[in-house]
Chains A and B, each alone.
Chain A
Amino acid sequence: MSRIVAVGLVIAASLVGATARAGDVALIVNPANPEADVSSADLVNIFLQQQQHWRAGGRIYLILQETGSPEKALVLRRVYRMSDVQLKQFWLGKLYRGEIASFPRIASSNAAVKRIVAHAPHAIGFIDASAVDASVKRLKVDGRQPGDPGYLLAAPVN
């Protein structure tokens, strides 16, 4: 009996630990994507489009959100470390240098990002962690997911 209680407590603790806080942002990919975990260094390279192909093959299709979304604000702060204006200028520079042939796609909502990622095998996007469902796969960052201590895209503590 005590063993069952102990196991139950462990499961409960892990569930509590994995519960995303309001405002946490999740990285999502297509369920067919074999990636399950990326390092924060790789994530930065992917979002800066220094890395443009998945290790398993296929060009990474980066989906960003519109200016003003809280999810984009968090990604700008934690991943890009740029202002929105600086990011726009950064993309134009990459285009001009021939490093990319088109700008990343912009979606206007969590639902829109999810819909695109669910249909595009090589896509990656970010949405509010509470909006993740079975149509997409959540990526861990450095082995952590929303709700874990030290998660890169955890909501800022006020």
Chain B
Amino acid sequence: MTVAGAKRSLSPPLRFEEVSTLRRARPGGFESTASLLALSFVCLATAPTAALAQESASLPPGHATPADESPTPKLQIRGFGNIDFLHHGDGTPNNFAVGELDFFTTSQLSEDVSVLAEVVFEPGDNDEPLIDIERYQIKYSPSDLFNVAFGRMHSALGYWNQTFHHGAWFQTTAFRPEIYHFEDEGGVLPVHEVGVQVSGTKALGVPQLEYNVSVTNGRGIVRTEVETFRDSNPAKAVNLWLGLTPRPRAGLKLGGALRFDMIPPNPANEARKHELKERIVSGFLAFERGRQELLAEVIRMRHEDAPNARTYTTLGYYVQAAYRFGRLKPYYRFDSVDHGAGDPFYGGGDDDIRRHTLGLRADPWIWVCIKLEFSHNDPAPGESFGAGALQVAFTF
């Protein structure tokens, strides 16, 4: 598959109705990263010319879903991307930056089984391109109350991590909250996990209760590592998440999470020669209704070095508010992260963060948005600086 071929396929965006009924499938072939990428590109290239099947193909009697009538599973593919112009405000030259290029695929394999894969192309530290399999999971969903997924997933830590994650187009702001930076960006949270997640929804009359329980490999030896292919210690991370939606259309959701893990020692680091017991507690409130948006999350991480009788606590939170006026949506966010002083897992070199962000999101077209934002940073008394960003984010 050539790059030219891929580019050609991007030009004619699909109508929603077309996407909903695309029937192209290439089951299997997920054995390796390369085959997954190749499959993604093949499907991307062929999608615009794929045969459409709307109501004309009526279902044979007894068949419950469209997957039953197709000779092979249908593959849905979407792309997300963003291009930025950054003003760092700390003496670093302003620059243009290619953001993540995210290919997201799903397929319903049977009425109860589906697969999801998300591959992201992103620039590395030295401008070399990196390819990450961000999510890769197979899910069995026999009922609303019980769904089980195996693979690499987003950790259910609160609200933002499961709701927006990589697609910058979804989120109001240009960037993620400071507390939710990715592991490979030096983030403090395990935002990805590899293992099994059980989740479900239960209607309690009008209110809806959601749960998510996961058992996963957990943290790696260093903070940037997601243990995708192995586990450095026998202990597994356990994550419990609960969310409550009082009324489905009212836009309010409340919840929280509790996570336990045992972080393996790092033989290469004298300060990390013991295991660390990790406990993460979080709470969130999200209100998104019509023009209004209010998000607030607080997360507390505690690392216990039992042999040395030391504990380290990192506390992070953000509050974000936005209000839409037609195609314009001004927003404000306050981020705060207090890193546990001397926490050997984080290396002890992180500055605390106090950041005010003021921005404007414009949606001139349905699948494209432009965000302009300015931030004021106070990492320490007397060390404040401003920064700015212009971002074009889109989905295709």
- Once bound together, how far apart are the Cα atoms of A51 and B209, in whole Å? 12
Residues of chain A in range 79-106 having any CB-CB distance to chain B below 8 Å:
81, 85, 88-89, 91-93, 95-98, 101-106
Does the CB pair A120–B65 fall under 8 Å? yes
Does the CB pair B64–A101 fall under 8 Å? no
Does the CB pair B249–A44 fall under 8 Å? yes
Contact of A115 among B55, B74, B205 (CB under 8 A): B55
* Interface membership of B382, Cβ < 8 A: no
Closest chain A CB from B384 CB (angstroms): 36
**Total contacts A-B at CB 8 Å:** 122
Does the CB pair B78–A51 fall under 8 Å? no
* Interface membership of B72, Cβ < 8 A: no
* Interface membership of B395, Cβ < 8 A: yes
- Once bound together, how far apart are the Cα atoms of A59 and B16, in whole Å? 22
Closest chain A CB from B144 CB (angstroms): 5
- Once bound together, how far apart are the Cα atoms of A108 and B15, in whole Å? 14
Does the CB pair B108–A116 fall under 8 Å? no
* Interface membership of B203, Cβ < 8 A: yes
User: Given contacts A101-B116, A103-B76, A106-B21, is CB(A92)–CB(B64) below 8 Å?
Assistant: no
Does the CB pair B62–A121 fall under 8 Å? yes
- Once bound together, how far apart are the Cα atoms of A116 and B249, in whole Å? 28
Chain B residues touching A, range: 35 or more
User: Given contacts A59-B112, A101-B106, is CB(A120)–CB(B78) below 8 Å?
Assistant: no
User: Given contacts A112-B55, A121-B64, is CB(A104)–CB(B20) below 8 Å?
Assistant: yes
Contact of B21 among A96, A105, A109 (CB under 8 A): A105
Does the CB pair B20–A81 fall under 8 Å? no
User: Given contacts A44-B249, A95-B76, is CB(A106)–CB(B17) below 8 Å?
Assistant: yes
**B135 / chain A contacts, CB cutoff of 8 Å:** 98
* Interface membership of B208, Cβ < 8 A: yes
* Interface membership of A38, Cβ < 8 A: no
Contact of A96 among B61, B78, B144 (CB under 8 A): B78
Closest chain B CB from A125 CB (angstroms): 10
- Once bound together, how far apart are the Cα atoms of A96 and B76, in whole Å? 11
**B19 / chain A contacts, CB cutoff of 8 Å:** 103
Does the CB pair B65–A59 fall under 8 Å? yes
Residue of A nearest to B201 (CB): A50
Given contacts A61-B64, A96-B78, A101-B76, 15 further A-B contacts (CB under 8 A): A42-B203, A50-B208, A52-B144, A59-B112, A66-B17, A93-B163, A98-B149, A98-B153, A103-B19, A103-B20, A106-B16, A106-B17, A112-B54, A112-B56, A120-B59
14 A/B residue pairs, CB under 8 Å, sorted by A? A41-B248, A44-B248, A50-B201, A50-B248, A53-B144, A81-B249, A96-B165, A98-B106, A102-B74, A105-B20, A106-B17, A119-B61, A120-B59, A120-B63
Q: Which chain A residues have a beta carbon within 8 Å of chain B's beta carbons?
A: 41-42, 44-45, 48, 50-53, 57-59, 61, 66-67, 81, 85, 88-89, 91-93, 95-98, 101-109, 112-113, 115-116, 119-123
